[in-house]
Amino acid sequence: MPFAQLVIGPPGSGKSTYCDGMQQFMSAIGRKCSVVNLDPANDHTSYPCAIDVRNLITLEEIMDDDELGPNGAVLYALEELEENWEWLEKGLKGLGEDYVLFDCPGQVEIFTHHSSLRNIFFRIQKLGLTLPSLYISTLLLSLRAMLQMDLPHLNVLTKIDKLSSYSPLPFNLDYYTEVQDLSYLLPHLADENPAIGNAKFEGLNKAIIDLVEDFGLVGFETLAVENKKSMMTLLHAIDRAGGYAFGGAEGANDTVWQVAMRDGMRMMDVRDVQERWLDRKEEFDEKERLALEEEAKAREAPSLVSDAGEEEEEDDVDEIEEMRRNFAGDSGIKVVRRDR
């Protein structure tokens, strides 16, 4: 397990959906990937679990035996997992060189001040929003998690494809992903709730904003989990943050998708995300629908190969070879001629 992602976030933020989508995407591009469920309350995972903490201990057992509530039971389960580290270590070693996704519990205290999850991840390492007040809260939580975990860290604004169904953002998307001058949000805090914007809380709001800006650590990637290009862009950023881009096991005979992931071809920046999911969402949705219909028709149509088609294919191979010779560095594409 040379590379992994630790997927953390509050309840309902899409952690399990992300793990499911990322596992499917990695499988599609030929990268071996396994998902580890560390949430003892998650008894209906949408992905196949390579390791499931519920095989060690369940939330229901803890609540019944120790008379704890749900949050206390999750903390107890993580402490139990830390005590039984050998069980997790044995399971991880059995995954070999797989890229691993850790689906973590949603209780925020486990990655803000409780130490068990942090200790578990350090052991593993020795062997990856429309209301202003919610955005500020997310910034503070992300900053605290980054400082507490002390690991390569990416913050992700998930469900970006649903953003257009909410009230319009006061600023363009890049304002939020790049965490630009937060003082511009102060008037919008007052508009959202007069109680937040009154003099009693004005000093607190300004102090929180100054704290986030002084550290200058927090930024966000975006994700629409069912969109292939969005997933590829995020995985590329994760690969760079975790070091996979500089030391992965992908070789010279990779598929075009694998080459794209390694070389960063056609990545989406925040302006592309703004255009795709906010400014021109309906237009792009229609284009994708038509493209899918064309693909479906092409699969259903009989495959007819003519001599002219063979000559065109030969020309395409020659063009690819020419591109490969002119490409800076090894692109990873290997062209193989077949005798006809």
- What phi-psi label fits residue 216: left (phi over 0), alpha (psi between -120 and 50 degrees) or beta? left
Which of 12-21, 147-156, 295-304 shows the lowest mean pLDDT across its residues?
Answer: 295-304
Torsion over CA of 118, 126, 47 and 91, rounded to 10 degrees? Answer: -110
Which of 33-37, 42-46, 148-152, 333-337 shows the lowest mean pLDDT across its residues?
Answer: 333-337
Q: Are 185 and 135 in contact (CB under 8 A)?
A: yes
Instruction: Give alpha helix (H) positions in 41-163.
Output: 59-66, 70-83, 85-93, 116-126, 132-149
Q: What mean pLDDT comes out for the span 131-152? A: 80
**Predicted pLDDT at 113:** 77
Q: Are 6 and 238 in contact (CB under 8 A)?
A: no
pLDDT tens, residue by residue, 26-57 = 888 888 999 999 998 888 888 899 999 999 98
**Predicted pLDDT at 84:** 92
Residue of higher predicted confidence among 25 and 133: 25
pLDDT tens, residue by residue, 288-332 = 888 888 888 888 776 544 444 555 555 555 655 555 555 444 445
The share of the chain scoring above pLDDT 90, in percent, equals 9
Return the amino acid letter for 102: F
**Predicted pLDDT at 329:** 46
Q: Computed over its alpha carbons, how large is the radius of gyration of the chain?
A: 24
**Predicted pLDDT at 245:** 65
**Predicted pLDDT at 191:** 76
Report the interhelical angle of 15-28 vs 228-242 (nearest 10°). Answer: 90
Strand, coil or helix: 196: helix
**Model confidence, pTM:** 0.58
**Predicted pLDDT at 305:** 44
The residue behind tokens 């209906």 is 44
Range 38-54 burial, b when 16+ CB lie within 10 A, else e: bbbbbeebebebbbbbb
Q: What mean pLDDT comes out for the span 88-111? A: 86
Q: What does the alpha-carbon distance between residue 181 and residue 311 come to, in Å, rounded to a whole number?
A: 58
pLDDT tens, residue by residue, 209-231 = 899 889 888 889 998 888 888 88
Q: What does the alpha-carbon distance between residue 184 and residue 172 come to, in Å, rounded to a whole number?
A: 13
